[in-house]
Amino acid sequence: MHHPKTIWITGASSGIGEASAYQFAREKANLILTASKADKLAEVRQECIRLGARCEILPYDLSNLEGIDELTDKALAIFGQIDIVFLNAGISQRGKTTETDFAVDRKIMDVNFFAPVKITKRLLPKMIENGGGTIAVTSSISGKFGFPLRSAYASSKFALYGFFETVHAEYYDDNIRVVMVCPGRVKTNISFNALEANGSRHGQMDAGQEQGITAEQAARKIVRAIHRQKPEVLVGGKELLMVYIKRFFPGLSRRMVRKIKAT
């Protein structure tokens, strides 16, 4: 009888995080869920328990970097160890570079980059002590190429690749595996919560997002990749072609990005 895996998911109150939580819950995992919306998180917890998982929640606003060490210690204490962490929380952006308040650049970097960095630095020694673990991280196809109206968002997602590819190289022999999750268009509320140039919420669903695959479809593919410890999983539809165009035809990809009618 194998003991159930313990999984900590951030950004678990909606979208990819919520759908992945249900996917893991069906496997009877031990779940720890974090997100800033405590009420929504409590509902997700009820559903995870209904699906057969043990599940605890740690509501937290990841833009507050000061408390992250303590948050990570609490997560570790709940079931005694963490086998898989899915660093999925993130905020997007809608604003041209010169019009965007620097405070917005900072907040996006804090939530999307520095929060996962702090969690990882705190968690790694314990994971290594326990014989290893899997760190899954939600980047984006915007982590592969810059995209209009997303300068801070793309930067934060590029930075995740740099940090986590290094972690993968440094701790591979300690049985640490990194899974880079690279979504294209997935139908979630990320565009609703995106920050405008002045820091206010975008508050609408982008047309591109509307055409995306569902969070459930994405979660199925992501959870499978996490179990297989695939170094990278691309999730989405035909927009993922851009990743290959960038790799093999960089000049063409730059021209295409310039012509994107970004919303």
CATH of the domain at 142: 3.40.50.720
In a domain, 1, yes or no: no
> Average pLDDT of 228-254?
94
pLDDT at 3: 77
* 237 touches 185 (CB < 8 A): yes
Q: How would residue 204 be classed by pLDDT, with cut points 50, 70 and 90?
A: confident
C-alpha angle 225-129-68 in degrees, rounded to nearest 5: 75
| Cα–Cα distance list, 76 to 29, 45, 95, 123, 125 (Å) | 15, 18, 37, 8, 12
Q: Reply yes or no on whether the pLDDT at 209 is more than 80.
A: no
Average pLDDT over residues 25-43: 97
Residue 220 exposed, middle or buried by CB count within 10 Å (0-12, 13-18, 19+): middle
* Average confidence score pLDDT of the chain: 95
The highest-confidence range among 23-27, 208-212, 240-244, by mean pLDDT, is 23-27
In the numeric block, the tokens 């035809």 are attached to 249
Helix, strand, or coil here: 208? helix
Its domain, for residue 109, covers 6-259
Q: Is 119 part of a structural domain of the chain? A: yes
**Domains of the chain: total:** 1
Name the pTM for this structure.
0.95
Q: In this structure, how many other beta carbons lie within 10 angstroms of the beta carbon of residue 44?
A: 25
Instruction: Tell me whether residue 215 is in a domain.
Output: yes
Strands 30-34 and 6-10: parallel
Q: Identify the residue whose tokens are 């994107």.
A: 260
- Kindly state the tokens that stand for 234: 């691309």
- Residue 81 domain flag: yes
CA distance 78 to 149: 40
Distance from C-alpha of 127 to C-alpha of 251, rounded to nearest angstrom: 42
Active site residues: 153
Check: CB of residue 11 under 8 Å from CB of residue 89.
Answer: yes
Q: What are phi and psi of 51, to 5 degrees?
A: -80, -5
Would you say residue 219 lies in a domain? yes
